Structure 1
Amino acid sequence: MTTVLVTGAAGRVAQQLRPGLDGVDGLTLRAVDVREVTGWDGAETAVGDLTDAAFTAAAVAGVDAVVHLAANPRPEAAWPELRGPNVDAVVTLLDTASTAGVRKVVLASSVHAMGGYVQPGGPVVDPSWPVRPCCRYGSSKAFAEAYGRMVADAGGPAVICLRLGGCVPEPGDLGTTIGWLAPGDLHQLVRAALAADVRYGTYFGVSANTRGMFDYTNATRELSYRPRFDSEVYVPGLPDGDGGLCRWAATDT
């Protein structure tokens, strides 16, 4: 039996992930958030703040792996709004997971950690390039990746960083099409990350988008992730827009 803790369980991405964890043999779920957790029938749930070391210790006790989705997800957020949920909580979680003997943390990063490379007509972004955040939110995710690397190298849990794109049922504008992550591909990606024999890695979490600007081939090679969905089918009739990507309208790098 494998016990997996999902943080940020009341959030949009976690709610889309939930059906993808059904039917996984031998999987026991625990779900936590700073607000009431719903939609996780059959899972042990708790409400609390991951910056609270005592709450986090109780949350990871007896856990084999963590899917860490809890964060302030707003690219426009100011640093005081990001520091607690996106930096302090990551440090507390990873340190506590190390002490508790957790085997693996699947850490939700974001394409915003590399968003400084994104521009119309620009090259597809390689996950091996140095981080280049496009906003303070992206910077908080770059920090999380770096801290995860340190923890993994120091003998703590394996850390797999998934630089998630826009995970919505359908892209809402043309900007979203370059980094869309279909819920079905989210399911496959997280399951693949939980199963992979990888000590540390960073991977773009995007679908097989015709207009995609984020290279996920290392996720195929190292995690056996093979996305099945393409935002191109939604393109007819979509309005213009930046899809939430900070530098999509940029004219230079």
Structure 2
Amino acid sequence: MTAVLVTGAAGGVAGHLRSGLTGLDLRVVDTREVAGWDGAEVRTGDLTDPDVAAAAVEGMDAVVHLAANPHPGAAWSELRGPNADAVVTLLDAARKAGVGRVVLASSVHAVGGYVADGLPAGTVIDPAWPARPCCAYGATKVFAEAYGRSVADGGELSVLCLRLGGVLARPTDTGNLIGWLAPSDLRRLVLAALEADVRYGCYFGVSANTRGVFDYANATAELGYRPELDSEAYAADVTPGDGGLCRWRGESTP
């Protein structure tokens, strides 16, 4: 495939991904002004609008859907449009347009409840375990995975869900050590997901972290994803923290 739409192109994750998409015919879209995508066709629009979504996916072979409200403490009113309605509108438009593959950015927050409640030493979270979101944001990602599954089961569109960890140049606190995703590993994962012969799948997007609790074995087996970096290389230098993973229960963060 050569023609790829990237949504949420003004966001940080997209910025880390950009250099890995060299050689592809790119179209990018965001609600905000987009910079740093030289050579790509740039569009601005809200993907909750069916007309915007239909125009964005027209002629595309694949979509990398990164657009979302990324804040775990956001209220439902702030999450519903970008994280739920836009997913439905985009996937429906992609199916109707004959797009072959959507790589859908989910999050480790979809199973963050297991982390928040504490895991026995040595336990890793299997992607086949039931979803257990730690927050409303995580719940929107569970919905996105489920809607993607329903569309993929219709047989007209392949949907691969990537439960991304923290995409950072390097871990910033101790919490990042379990779910860090190095930018270079992000690029490996997305490219692998674009090419894999899979109808539907759900995979953890993390690096090869010594202290990791998210099992990415199915991403290796089914996508050929082999992360190369390990957060342990930074363990001696980071400060205490939760790495952005929810440790709470409630409607919003403090």
TM range (shorter): over 0.9
What pairs with 1:226-245 in structure 2 (closer than 5 Å)?
A: 226-245=226-245
Q: Which amino acid aligns with 1:69?
A: L
- TM-score w.r.t. the length of structure 1 is 0.95
Give 1:83's aligned residue.
80
| Structure 2 residue aligned with 1:221 | 221
**Amino acid corresponding to residue 173 of structure 2 in structure 1:** D
| Whole-angstrom CA distance in 2 between matches of 1:121 and 1:183 | 29
* Aligned-partner SS, 1:233: helix
Of 101, 105, 109, the match for 1:112: 109
SS of residue in 2 equivalent to 1:41:
coil
Structure 1 residues 145-164: Cα deviation after superposition (integer angstroms, max 9, x where no partner): 00000000012310000000
1:1-253 maps to which residues of 2 (within 5 A)? Answer: 2-22=2-22, 24=23, 27-118=24-115, 119=118, 121-122=120-121, 123-247=123-247
Residue type at the aligned position of 1:220: T
Partner amino acid, structure 1, of 2:162: L
Give aligned pairs, total: 246
Residue 134 to residue 231, structure 1, CA distance change in 2 (3 Å): same
For each residue in 1:113-151, what CA deviation from the matched residue of structure 2 results, as whole angstroms up to 9, or x when unmatched? Answer: 011111254521100001000000000000000000000
Change (3 A) 1:179 1:248: farther
CA offsets, 1:45-87, max 9 Å, x none? 1000000111111100000000000000000001000000000
SS class of match (2:181):
coil
Return the alpha-carbon distance in structure 1 between the equivalents of residues 54 and 148 of structure 2: 18
SS in 2 for 1:18: helix
The CA distance in 2 between the partners of 1:177 and 1:124, in whole Å, is 14
C-alpha deviation, 1:237, in angstroms: 2.5
Unaligned runs of 5+ in 1: none
What SS does structure 2 have at the residue aligned with 1:30? strand
Query: Which stretch has the larger CA shift, 122-131 or 214-223?
Result: 122-131
Q: TM-score, normalised by structure 2?
A: 0.95
SS in 2 for 1:174: coil
Q: Which amino acid in 2 is paired with 1:200?
A: Y
Q: Specify the code of the residue in structure 2 equivalent to 1:107.
A: L
Distance 1:126 1:147, change over 3 A: same
Contact kept, 8 Å, 2:29 with 2:42, in 1: the verdict is: yes
Percent identical pairs in the alignment equals 69
Q: Distance in 1 between matches of 2:71 and 2:32?
A: 17
- Once residues 64 and 194 of structure 2 are traced to their aligned partners in structure 1, the CA distance between those partners, rounded to angstroms, is 8
Gaps of 5+ in 2: 250-254
SS of the residue corresponding to residue 9 of structure 1 reads: coil
Q: Which 4+ stretches in 1 moved above 4 angstroms? A: none
Shift of 1:248: 8.4
**Contact persistence 1:175–1:248 (CA under 8 A):** no
Aligned residues of 2:134 and 2:248 also touching (Cα < 8 A): no
Query: What's the CA shift for 1:36?
Result: 0.6
Alpha-carbon distance between aligned partners in 1 of 2:119 and 2:93, rounded to the nearest angstrom = 42
The Cα RMSD (Å) is: 1.3
Q: Is the 8 A contact 2:208 2:227 kept in 1?
A: yes
d(CA) in 2 for partners of 1:121, 1:184: 30
Does structure 2 conserve the Cα–Cα contact (< 8 Å) formed by 1:75 and 1:136?
yes
Structure 1 residue 239, shift from structure 2 partner? 1.0
